[in-house]
Structure 1
Amino acid sequence: MPEFWSALGNTIWWAFTVLVMISYLMVLFSIIGDVFRDHTLSGGAKALWIFCLVFFTFITAIVYILVRGKGMTERAVAQASQNKKAADDYIRSVAGSPADEIARAKSLLDAGTISADEFASLKAKALS
């Protein structure tokens, strides 16, 4: 029976260690992304932060979050907003308007590709 508890304890400790390591890697990559996203930070300061992250890992991560955490959030929100705006603009550009769809259907009707009934259904669909 003691072997079971020892194995269970080792398994729980391993799972906890893996969880902490994955969490730290997520924080580390978030910090690195933020360092390179910040345009107000000079190149030397970026190099210093990266150097410290490599050699003084946990302390630097904690200090970075405490010192630059609010700006980190603001930059992430601004980036997400910019990405959403770009995606919305792209969707609007490729979606087309109902007038465009009706014009395409009319050109198909004029070319004889579709019948008048099909044109009417496409027109109704575009206007709905």
Structure 2
Amino acid sequence: MNLAYDYPVLGAFWTVMWIFLWVLWIVLLFRIIGDIFRDDTLSGAGKTGWLIFVVLLPFLGVFVYVLARGKGMGEREMKHAQAKQQAFDDYVRETAGGGAGPGNEGEQLARLSEVRARGDITDAEFQRAKEKILH
């Protein structure tokens, strides 16, 4: 009959620590594989070589990759995050149909001019709206 006290606290601590380190290593392995594919400076042969090294000799491959290219990993991750943020910002600006940002005044004035040309607003309303856009 196995009871809970047959497993010492120090044994439980070591088990939890090894599981934590194993999960940490798996996460690092996948981050490195993602970094290999994300790096635009590596040629196809370079990416293939690093990928084979990391997959066939995972422990050694991960440690060598971090030593050789670890500094650039952070820079590439930052560049990737900035590119994603810029793409998101562009999408929001495009979807919102222009806000009060610079460069949109011309578009807003052109639309306002079209509305006045159709006769939907008077000249006085046009002037007030134009002042509102420009200020």
Check if 1:21 corresponds to 2:35: no
Matching residue's letter, 1:9 = L
TM-score (norm 1): 0.67
Higher relative contact order (CA 8 A, sep 6+): 1
Which residue pairs with 2:36 in the alignment? Answer: 35
Aligned structure 1 segments of 4 or more residues deviating by more than 4 angstroms: none
Query: How many Å apart are 1:78 and its aligned residue?
Result: 0.5
Aligned residue for 1:54?
55
Does residue 80 of structure 1 match 2:84? Answer: no
Shift, 1:6, TM fit:
3.1
The whole-number CA distance in structure 1 between the counterparts of 2:35 and 2:28 is 10
Pairwise CA distance, 1:53 = 1.1
Q: Deviations over 1:16-61 (max 9, x none)?
A: 1211111001111111011011122122221211111122222211
Identity of aligned residues (%): 37
| Coordinate RMSD, CA, aligned | 2.6
Instruction: Give structure 1 stretches of 5+ with no counterpart.
Output: 104-109, 111-128
